[in-house]
Amino acid sequence: MGNTKERILAASAELFRRNGYTGTGLKQIVAEASAPFGSIYHFFPGGKEQLAEEVIRSSGMAYGKLFDLLIAPAPDLITGLEQAFAAAAVTLRETDYADACPIATVALEVASTNETLRRATAEVFESWIATGTGVFTRFGLSEDEARRLTIAVISALEGAFVLSRSLRDVEPLAIAGEAAVATAREMLTGRARG
């Protein structure tokens, strides 16, 4: 299952995603990672904050690739968006509403209390916006339209995750997906007319 540091990062990512930053303890992390307690401070001398920052950045990179994995290969933008929101709903259902976005979970907790982690989450969100903008321009949108759509899609997904987890229902994801598709259609129709 990888080396000790990788196991700690993987366990932390899952626990932060499910329980949040403050709801996850270091003892819980090492137990989940099957690692000695001292290994946390060996690999992360800055403790939990440094560990969380690395988890945010590595998880953020992994989740950012979903634009390229789920949307970019689609035959068109609409299909790509529909597939992405459908995949998110499947993940929530299959994990009993426990797995959503680890970045948003932590960002909601620390945005006004921990500047280091706030900056890390902001940088991840900016990288997602850049990636999404690049993918959406390949479907014919201008860079400005693609950026606006990316922000709308990320916002819709993150908000829908919160509602879906609370309600234990994927209806918010379905509605958010419909709204994202409607926005994309409007942008594409405007380009076709223009």
Mean pLDDT of 128-144: 97
Counting Cβ atoms within 10 Å, is residue 178 exposed (0-12), middle (13-18) or buried (19+)? middle
Q: How confident is the model at residue 161 (pLDDT cuts 50, 70, 90)?
A: very high
Please say whether the beta carbons of 21 and 52 come within 8 A. yes
Q: How confident is the model at residue 93 (pLDDT cuts 50, 70, 90)?
A: very high
**pLDDT score of 101 more than 90:** no
**pLDDT score of 1 more than 60:** no
Mean pLDDT of 39-55: 95
The pLDDT value given to residue 2 = 66
More confident residue, 110 or 82: 82
Which is it for the CA torsion 73, 159, 125, 46, positive or negative? Answer: negative
The pLDDT value given to residue 20 = 87
Mean pLDDT of 166-189: 96
**pLDDT score of 193 more than 80:** no
The pLDDT value given to residue 102 = 76
Mean pLDDT (the chain, rounded) = 93
**pLDDT score of 17 more than 90:** no
Task: State the Cα–Cα distance between residues 48 and 55, nearest whole angstrom.
Answer: 10
Task: State the Cα–Cα distance between residues 38 and 17, nearest whole angstrom.
Answer: 23
Q: Report pTM.
A: 0.89
The pLDDT value given to residue 119 = 95
Mean pLDDT of 175-187: 97
